[in-house]
């Protein structure tokens, strides 16, 4: 066994070996799992590499960026990407491998490539958009029709945000005097709870969708780095499937978030959203005025045409009336002739019928039978037709053509 080393001596040997065997600089890709700026301006963090399938951490290293370099690198990185160095970002760093006898292995950051982070952010955004399109909901909200009268506005924003106050003031003090009804559905507009709170507000609005013409999601100002909070699949899917049109004004001039891609209409700032709603209502009012003028012109022209028609009718009406009168008088005269003829024919038929009835009645007159030698026998005023109808001792009256006879029944023969 050789001479034992102290821990410091061993760490010094490791340090010298690394310095002799490694290049002075390396470009390395990974994800920031931690990141903070100390009071002295130094940046301390941790960089990891994850398995693309399982997400398990395959490698890990501490990183340090000293204050004099960090100020320049961070400013350039934010100017290019709109992001600060924070956990969750994919980065490409130029590093020097260091080993300190007391603090161990770490990477000293000497440069940053913003284009790599931009590419990764764009890649993630495209992955979300592709998933939304595959689900068939990417353009669902854009397919809704914006109501002509967008006056009932559900607003999702932070209650204390200056942008929310500017939005409401611009609506209330619009030059046309239009009335807008707004109601705030509070949400966190930056940080870890953005997705959770905005989705909760959207669900509350959807539950009473019939009360709202449009949903507005606004965020005034704020750090550009917070835009990544709006690149969420779950938040975008919720917006895309709203039954009310959604307008975004998240307060950024350059980049678009996934939320902007799925919203019905996206604008840059809260005041731009207010101006859009005012202009939309002004366009509707102008259209209503135009329709009113068209209706007025149409009615005026119709009245003029009808007046001319009445004049023409008044000139031809007497002639038409005379013609109709003559036709009706001729028709009445014809009807009277037909009625008189029918009346005469009916009288003749009835007279003939009465004559026939009279002849029949005369032929049935009992007096004619008596004159021919027949007689009628009565008992108690009743005509006797059968010998069984009388009894011996009854008095009979026999009527003849001239006079009558009275007799008593002494005998009857069946």
> What's the whole-model pTM score?
0.58
| In the predicted structure, residue 224 carries a pLDDT above the cut 70 | no
198: pLDDT confidence band, cut at 50, 70 and 90? very high
223: pLDDT confidence band, cut at 50, 70 and 90? low
Taken as a whole, the chain contains a residue count of: 414
Question: Cα–Cα distance between 237 and 247 in angstroms, integer?
Answer: 15
Q: What angle do CA 271, 275, 280 make, to 5 degrees?
A: 150
CB neighbour class for 287 (10 Å; exposed up to 12, middle 13-18, buried from 19):
exposed
Average pLDDT over residues 221-227: 57
Residues 6+ positions from 84 with CB-CB distance below 8 Å: 74, 77, 78, 223, 225
Where is average pLDDT lowest: 157-161, 194-198, 263-267?
Answer: 157-161
Closest listed residue to residue 106, CA positions, set 14, 37, 39: 14
Round the average pLDDT of the chain to a whole number and report it.
Answer: 86
pLDDT per position as a tens digit, 344-395:
888 888 888 888 887 787 776 777 767 777 778 888 878 888 887 888 888 8
Average pLDDT over residues 288-294: 85
Between the alpha carbon of residue 380 and those of residues 171, 386, 396, the distances in Å are 120, 15, 8
| In the predicted structure, residue 301 carries a pLDDT above the cut 70 | yes
| Local structure of 87: helix, strand or coil | coil
Closest listed residue to residue 201, CA positions, set 221, 212, 217: 217
Phi, then psi, of 328 in degrees rounded to 5: -70, -40
Strand order in the sheet with 181-186: 181-186, 152-157, 214-218, 246-249, 265-267
Average pLDDT over residues 9-16: 88
Average pLDDT over residues 106-135: 86
Two structure tokens written together for 117 = 């982070």
Domains of the chain and CATH, by start = 7-112 (2.40.50.140), 127-283 (3.40.50.280), 368-408 (no CATH)
């Amino acid at each position: 066994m050789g001479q034992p080393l102290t821990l410091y001596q061993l760490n010094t040997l490791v340090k010298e070996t690394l310095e002799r065997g490694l290049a002075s600089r390396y470009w390395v890709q990974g994800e920031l799992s931690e990141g903070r700026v100390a009071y002295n301006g130094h940046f301390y963090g941790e960089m990891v590499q994850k398995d693309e399938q399982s997400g398990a951490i395959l490698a890990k290293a501490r990183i340090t960026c000293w204050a004099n370099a960090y100020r320049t690198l961070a400013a350039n990185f934010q100017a290019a990407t709109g992001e600060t160095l924070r956990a969750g970002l994919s980065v490409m760093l130029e590093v020097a491998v260091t080993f300190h006898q007391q603090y161990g292995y770490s990477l000293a950051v000497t440069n940053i490539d913003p284009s790599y982070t931009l590419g990764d952010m764009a890649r993630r955004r495209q992955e979300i958009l592709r998933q939304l399109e595959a689900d068939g909901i990417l353009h669902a909200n854009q397919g809704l029709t914006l109501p002509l009268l967008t006056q009932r506005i559900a607003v999702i924003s932070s209650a204390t945000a200056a942008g929310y106050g500017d939005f409401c003031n611009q609506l209330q003090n619009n030059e046309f005097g239009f009335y807008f009804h707004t109601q705030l559905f509070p949400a966190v507009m930056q940080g870890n709870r953005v997705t959770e709170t905005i989705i909760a507000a959207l669900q509350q609005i959807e539950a009473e969708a019939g009360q709202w013409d449009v949903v507005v999601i606004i965020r005034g100002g704020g750090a550009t780095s917070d835009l990544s909070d709006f690149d969420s699949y779950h938040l975008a899917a919720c917006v895309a499937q709203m039954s009310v049109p959604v307008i975004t004004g998240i307060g950024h001039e350059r980049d678009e978030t996934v939320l902007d891609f799925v919203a019905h209409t996206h604008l840059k700032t809260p005041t731009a959203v207010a101006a859009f709603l005012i202009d939309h209502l002004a366009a509707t009012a102008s259209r209503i005025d135009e329709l009113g003028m068209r209706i007025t012109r149409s009615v005026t022209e119709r009245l003029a045409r009808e007046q001319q028609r009445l004049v023409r009718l008044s000139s031809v009406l007497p002639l038409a009336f005379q013609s109709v009168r003559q036709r009706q008088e001729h028709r009445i005269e014809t009807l009277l002739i037909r009625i008189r003829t029918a009346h005469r024919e009916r009288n003749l038929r009835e007279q003939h019928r009465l004559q026939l009835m009279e002849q029949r009645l005369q032929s049935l007159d009992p007096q004619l039978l008596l004159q021919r030698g027949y007689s009628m026998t009565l008992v108690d005023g009743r005509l006797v037709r059968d010998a069984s109808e009388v009894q011996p001792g009854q008095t009979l009256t026999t009527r003849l053509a001239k006079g009558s006879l009275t007799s008593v029944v002494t005998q009857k023969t069946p």
